[in-house]
Structure 1
Amino acid sequence: MVDANGRSVGRSMRILVTGGAGFVGSHLCERLLADGHEVIALDDFSTGSPANVAHLMRSRRFWLVERDVAQPFDYEIDRVYNLASPASPARYQCDPVRTTITNVVGTLNALSCAERHGARLLQASTSEVYGDPEVHPQPEGYLGRVNPIGVRACYDEGKRCAESLVMDFHRQGRASGRIARIFNTYGPRMALDDGRAVSNFIVQALRGEELTVYGSGSQTRSFCYIDDLVEGCVRLMEHPLEVGPVNLGNPVEVTVLELAQEIVRLTGSASRIVYRPLPEDDPRQRRPAIELARRSLGFEPRVALRQGLYATIQSFRAALLGAGECSRRGEPALAS
């Protein structure tokens, strides 16, 4: 259960987070520890980093385990958040076979662990299951328009198969499942070389490089701040009845060009925007329909894009300063 402020209440639990040293996983581990739980974070560090959870290592209720989820694992736990997977096109396309195996075999292993211990599992799925959508915004009942043999299929179809496994385990009574379809999420601790629009634009702007916009920049995205996303995941996990899939994201839609322009303004950068050809199977528009999340979970994103971008820029600026790749010149103040 969660209280009126979204905090989980009741007994302390032992919770497994696969992909726990990743961007989303590290923030989730932080939240679960704050809620009084014990947390085991599994990560092979292929895209995550021990640095993301270094500040959590002081807690006696936190364990970090280096492990590939494609190999069987077993921990006595009450909950499993299955987040293990590369999430950006640049990361998941560099080894597409491994991406598919991580999403399918890794999910099967997580479900088997949950089954053995009577644990509930939340599957971190993705808006990519909708592909390049013909329905806008995308409701959970939309079955998607995905290219099963395209360069993004390792991730798109891997996540779709993972959803199928979770639902089959749930229907058979083998493990209680929850499915969160996560839309674009951003915030501190994103990898500098993550390869997605927010991180690319911030790094390019802070380095004084050209901002690379693919296509005309008219394609749209909806960006959810990490704190809001974690809140939604916890609410879904602890809901007594809702299985999902449930869309979790921010329904405020902006064009990629508008995002680039806002980041230039917030960084005080003199960078100019350049245009490159659109990648294969890149979605033209993406916005979550979150009526189900609102009605069932009481979920409502609270962090405005400008506020979230400012916090993310400050995090990236600190990381680049530490690497000697950025100066403090032009650092803006966040206007009200």
Structure 2
Amino acid sequence: MRILVTGGSGFIGSHLIDRLLARGNEILNVDIKAPIFRHQVPLWHQTDILDLAELTRAFGEFEPQAVMHLAAKADVKARTWEDYASIFRGTQNVLAAIDAVPSVQRLLNVSTQLVIGPEYRPRSLLDFKPYTLYGEAKAFAEGAVLQWQSPVHWTTVRPATIWGPHNHFLVDGIWRYLANGAYLHPNGKQPVMRAYGYVENTAEQMIGLLEAAPSLTYRQTYYAADAVMDSAIWCDAFAMALRGKPAKRIPIPALKAAGLLGDAASKVGKRLPMDSGRALRMTESYPVPYEPTLKLLGPPPVTFEDGVRASVAWLKAGAPAHAD
């Protein structure tokens, strides 16, 4: 199959393209950035998704049968709506480019769990309750796909917390703190339950949704995740692998106090590792209904333990930004 991937140079996209290539697909990666994996450079078409004319030209020249749309600014800390133009305007451009190319039969739109906040149970696909401005932009993009007047078969997938080698967001965040013993996990009466997905499993789930029977995926939304687990288990697995000790604990009142201190520091131009927003995210459970995905596609191929080992091996190798 000829598959055009937008945003294929990113963390998830790079792993996804490798899995697509392993299945014998012909791939074009449309991205403003160069690929993480050097062997994928020949598949890369450097294009800004906000440039509709160039995007349409790339679609027309490649004539894809399917599109997997991942391109997005994945920074949850951006502060203005326009910072997320690659999501809301970019998705509109992708839909317009598909409309101009009759070869496209299927679209997989990659969204995020953040279109629905923690522990909220939506009543329909139109019932959004975004969590962060990034989630708002993704909800807008999902709405654009829902309202799209096209015969093209589309499916939306909402990844949960996706981890694995080449996730530099985690390298610069929690993995660094776990490695040096500075991370403090909230110690409360109830576990903090989170939905996690190992990146290779996520790629397989996305491909599975693209290839699944149309009757099961037509205009449907699924979540990409392996399991919902106590976040302490996830953190301790990496803490033990990186420094031989479980993550340190901190009482929740002390964590919230540290968050308030971080808020005060930010007002005078200083940034501390903790603020109230981060403290809240660390103490809120965030499960997602991923069971329909497993029912449709079966269990993921990579175990949690193997995923931890692969991630830690990459971290101990220096977490290289690029790989052959």
Q: 2:236 aligns with which of 248, 257, 261?
A: 261
User: Does residue 122 in structure 1 map to residue 97 in structure 2?
Assistant: no
Superposition pairs of residues 3-152 of structure 1, within 5 angstroms? 13-45=1-33, 50=35, 52-57=36-41, 62-72=42-52, 73-74=55-56, 75=59, 76-87=63-74, 91-94=75-78, 96-118=80-102, 119=104, 120-135=106-121, 143-146=127-130, 152=132
Q: Give 2:271's aligned residue.
A: none
- 1:314 & 1:269 partners in 2: Cα distance? 15
Q: Give 1:222's aligned residue.
A: 195
Q: What is the CA-CA distance between 1:56 and the residue it aligns to?
A: 2.5
Contact 2:88 2:137 in 1 (8 A): yes
Contact 2:195 2:229 in 1 (8 A): yes
* Partner secondary structure for residue 300 of structure 1: coil
User: Does residue 211 in structure 1 map to residue 183 in structure 2?
Assistant: yes
- 2:151 & 2:125 partners in 1: Cα distance? 24
* Partner secondary structure for residue 15 of structure 1: strand
Q: Give 1:10's aligned residue.
A: none
Unaligned regions of 5+ residues in structure 1, if any? 1-12, 324-336
Sort the Cα spacing of 1:205 and 1:251 in 2 relative to 1 into closer, same or farther, 3 A.
closer
- 1:200 & 1:162 partners in 2: Cα distance? 27
2:101 maps to a residue whose letter is H
Q: 1:168 aligns with which of 115, 140, 147?
A: 147
Contact 1:111 1:121 in 2 (8 A): no
Superposition pairs of residues 277-288 of structure 1, within 5 angstroms? 277=259, 278-279=276-277, 282=281, 284-288=284-288
- 1:183 & 1:177 partners in 2: Cα distance? 20
Q: Give 2:138's aligned residue.
A: 159
Q: Give 1:311's aligned residue.
A: 310
Deviations 1:223-245 (Å, cap 9, x if unpaired)? 11111111111111122231311
Q: Give 1:9's aligned residue.
A: none
Q: Which structure is higher in helix share?
A: 2
Sort the Cα spacing of 1:188 and 1:111 in 2 relative to 1 into closer, same or farther, 3 A.
same
Q: Give 2:265's aligned residue.
A: none
* TM-score between both structures, scaled by the size of structure 2: 0.77
Calculate percent identity across the aligned residue pairs: 23
- 1:292 & 1:260 partners in 2: Cα distance? 26
Q: What is the CA-CA distance between 1:99 and the residue it aligns to?
A: 4.0
* TM-score between both structures, scaled by the size of structure 1: 0.74
- 2:287 & 2:90 partners in 1: Cα distance? 28
- 1:183 & 1:14 partners in 2: Cα distance? 27
Contact 2:88 2:138 in 1 (8 A): yes
1:131 maps to a residue whose letter is G
Sort the Cα spacing of 1:67 and 1:97 in 2 relative to 1 into closer, same or farther, 3 A.
farther
User: Does residue 289 in structure 1 map to residue 275 in structure 2?
Assistant: no
CA RMSD of aligned residues (A): 2.9
